[in-house]
Amino acid sequence: MRNIKKRIKPLRPKGLPEDLRLSINEARVKHGWNQRKLGSKVGLTQPHISGIESGQIVPRFDTLLEIVRVLELDLLLVPRSLVPAVQSLIRAQKQPQSAERPLYATGEEEAAPDKKDHDEF
């Protein structure tokens, strides 16, 4: 009975996951907002936004949803087995040149667009 507290996990996490905090920060900066501006849009103070971004404060779920909505983001539930694939798609979307190239093109084909793939008869 004395060791029961060691086996029980706390109900509230210490902070939001780092990748979520970084996404919030990146989206805020992309909008050109400082923490005070984001806070004013969601009804929070600048120190509260700072605490959320640094992991010191865990926002309520409705507050997190409002922050995400204001930043034009969305929360998505994904099976853990698909997380690497989804993260890969997100990374690829952030790279502007990847959106313009077809998935099947190779570097040689792009460098020499006039080169034929087959012989003409």
Per-residue confidence of the chain (121 residues) as pLDDT tens digits? 556 666 666 666 678 999 899 999 999 999 999 999 999 999 999 999 999 999 999 999 999 999 999 999 999 899 999 999 998 998 888 776 644 555 565 665 555 455 445 555 4
Angle at 77 between CA 73 and CA 79, to 5 degrees: 140
* Confidence (pLDDT) at 115: 46
In a domain, 35, yes or no: yes
What is the Cα–Cα distance from 117 to 109, expressed in whole angstroms? 9
Handedness of CA 47, 49, 52, 54 (dihedral sign): negative
* Confidence (pLDDT) at 98: 47
In a domain, 43, yes or no: yes
**What element of type H or E holds 81?**
none
Total structural domains within the chain: 1
pTM for this structure? 0.65
* Confidence (pLDDT) at 20: 93
* Confidence (pLDDT) at 91: 84
What is the Cα–Cα distance from 67 to 6, expressed in whole angstroms? 34
* Confidence (pLDDT) at 14: 77
b (16+ CB within 10 A) / e for 3-35: eeeeeeeeeeeebbeeebeebbbebbeeeebeb
Q: Which domain holds residue 88?
A: 18-100
Closest alpha carbon to 50 in 66, 40, 61, 39: 39
Residue 85 carries which side chain, given as an amino acid letter?
Answer: A
* Confidence (pLDDT) at 100: 56
* Confidence (pLDDT) at 92: 87
In a domain, 54, yes or no: yes
In a domain, 29, yes or no: yes
Closest alpha carbon to 70 in 58, 62, 78: 62
* Confidence (pLDDT) at 50: 97
In a domain, 11, yes or no: no
